Homo-oligomer: A and B are copies of this chain.
Amino acid sequence: MKTLYKNAIILNFIDEKLNVIKDGFLAVDGDTLSYVGDALPEGEFDSVLDMSGKIIMPGIYNCHTHTPMVLLRGVGSDLPLDKWLFDTVFPIEDRLTKEDIEAGSYLALMEMISSGTVSFSDMYFEPEKTAEAVGEAGMKANISRPVQCFDPSERPEDSYRIKQSLELFNNYNNSFDGRVLIDFCIHAEYTCDEKTTRYYSELCKEKQGNMHIHLSETLKEHKECIEKYGKTPAAWFESLGAFSSRAFAAHCVELTEADMDILRNNGVSIVHNPTSNMKLGSGFAPVEEFIKKGINVTIGTDGAASNNNLDMLEEMHLAALIHNGYMKDPTLMSAEKVIKAATVNGAVLQGRKNAGNLLAGYKADFVVLSTDKPNMRPCLDPAALVVYSAGRQDVYMTVCDGKVLYKNGDFLTLDKERIYYNVRKATLRLY
C-alpha cells in the first residue's frame, strides 16, 4: 500500500534543526516513509490525499505515564500529597481488577491517539492487558511492570514482581511487529532496596533492556535518600548498576549538578512531567540546565490521576511556557526545542531506530493537524502554532507504522462504544 500526502506544511528535523517544508509531499510505502520533501515523488500511489492547509509533524512520544490510571481521573484533586496518595489513590488501586486495568488501558489509548501520541512509555501493574490493547490499537509502547521491595528479608531471586517483569519481557518484548517493547523498571529509590536494585539491574543489562525509573521527584524523596544512604537517588541508582543499561528517569525535579553529570555520563534520558510536578506541588525541573548539559530530554504526562489528562500537546505547551516564567527569560525554551523533545528525543529514549522524525526510510509515524479552527489562523509560524496555539481538537489524523489510527474524530482501530461501556462498568464497581 503506497499513499501520498500532498500539499502539506511538513515539520521535520535535519541535523538536529527544525525544518519547515511549506508545500510538502510525504510518501508512505507500507509502514515506512519513502519520501519527504518539496517535490512530487515519482511512482504510482494507491491513494493520494490532499493535505492543503494542514500541518504534518512527527508522531508524539509520551515518555512517562501510567495508562490505566485514567480510571482515577479527578480523584482527590486539590488535596495535600499524602492524603491524595494514601487516602484516595492507593485504596482505589488496591481494588483494581485485571478487567479494570484493561478498560483503563483502552480508554487511555483512545485519549492518546486522538491527541497525536503514537508511542508511550508505561509503568503499571497487569501490563499484559496494556500490551494487548496497544497491539490492537496499532500504537507503539515501551511497557514495564514496576519492581518494588518492601520486605528487607525478601531475596531478589524470589521477588514475584521481578518474576512478572521477566515473564512480561519474555512474552511481549518486540511483539506486534516490534511496536511493543518491554522495559525493565525499578519504581523508585524509596520503594526499593539495594540488593533488589542491584540484582534486577544486572538482569536488565543481561537482557539488553531499557530501565525506567522515577527519580528525585520531590525534595522529601531526594533529602531522605541522602540521609539514609549518604548519596542522592541518582548516585544511588548509578552505584547499583541501574544505569549500566539504556535508562531513563522521570520527573528529576531535584537533581543536583553532580546528578546531571551522572545522567549525562551514563547516557540516561530524562522525562519532563510539567503538569504532574506542578499539580502535586513538586516544583519545576531545571530543564534548560538538562539541555545545556547535553542530556536527552523528553516529555511525559505522568498518569491521569496527577495531570488529569494524557494530552501531550498540552504538556508540550507547558514545557515551552513554565521555564520562561520561572527563570524570567522568554528565550529559554522554544517551540523547536519542545517539538524535538516530544518526537526525536522520545524515539531515542525508547531505543527505536529510524523513528521520531519525518525522513525517507523512517517509520511512517506522524500527526496531521488541521488549521481550520480559529486558534490556528493565521498560520505565520507553523512550529509556534503547534506548541503555543494548537490543542487536541486540531489533531486531524494520527498515523502509526503507516496505518491511520484516527481521522477527523473517528477511531479506526478501536471500538469506542465497547471501551466506554467497560469503563462505565469499572467505574460503577470502583466508586
Is A77 at the interface (CB under 8 A from chain B)?
A: yes
A80 to B374, CA, bound (A): 27
Question: Are A325 and B281 interface neighbours, CB within 8 A?
Answer: yes
Interface size class of A (residues with CB under 8 A): 35 or more
Query: Nearest residue in B to A321 (C-beta to C-beta)?
Result: B278
Measured CB to CB, the closest approach of chain B to A277, in angstroms, equals: 6
Is A86 at the interface (CB under 8 A from chain B)?
A: no
Q: Given A78-B330, A392-B391, do A324 and B423 touch, yes or no (CB 8 Å)?
A: no
Query: Nearest residue in B to A395 (C-beta to C-beta)?
Result: B393
Question: Are A321 and B279 interface neighbours, CB within 8 A?
Answer: yes
Chain B residues contacting A77 (CB-CB under 8 Å) are 334-335, 381, 384, 388
User: What sequence of 0s and 1s flags, for each residue 268-299 of chain A, a beta carbon within 8 Å of any chain B beta carbon?
Assistant: 00000011011111111000000000000000
Is A373 at the interface (CB under 8 A from chain B)?
A: yes
Q: Given A278-B324, A283-B325, A330-B80, do A74 and B385 touch, yes or no (CB 8 Å)?
A: yes
Which residues of chain A from 339 to 365 have any CB-CB distance to chain B below 8 Å in the complex?
none
Question: Are A389 and B73 interface neighbours, CB within 8 A?
Answer: yes
Is A424 at the interface (CB under 8 A from chain B)?
A: yes
A427 to B392, CA, bound (A): 25
Measured CB to CB, the closest approach of chain B to A413, in angstroms, equals: 14
Q: Which 7 A-B pairs have the closest CB atoms?
A: A278-B325, A393-B393, A281-B330, A74-B384, A74-B381, A111-B374, A77-B384
Chain B residues contacting A388 (CB-CB under 8 Å) are 74, 77, 279, 307-309
Sample of 14 further A-B pairs with CB below 8 A, known A278-B322, A377-B423: A74-B385, A75-B380, A77-B334, A77-B335, A77-B381, A78-B331, A78-B334, A107-B377, A219-B328, A281-B324, A281-B328, A314-B314, A318-B321, A378-B424
Chain B residues contacting A373 (CB-CB under 8 Å) are 111, 114
Chain B residues contacting A420 (CB-CB under 8 Å) are 377
Q: Given A377-B73, A377-B423, do A384 and B281 touch, yes or no (CB 8 Å)?
A: no
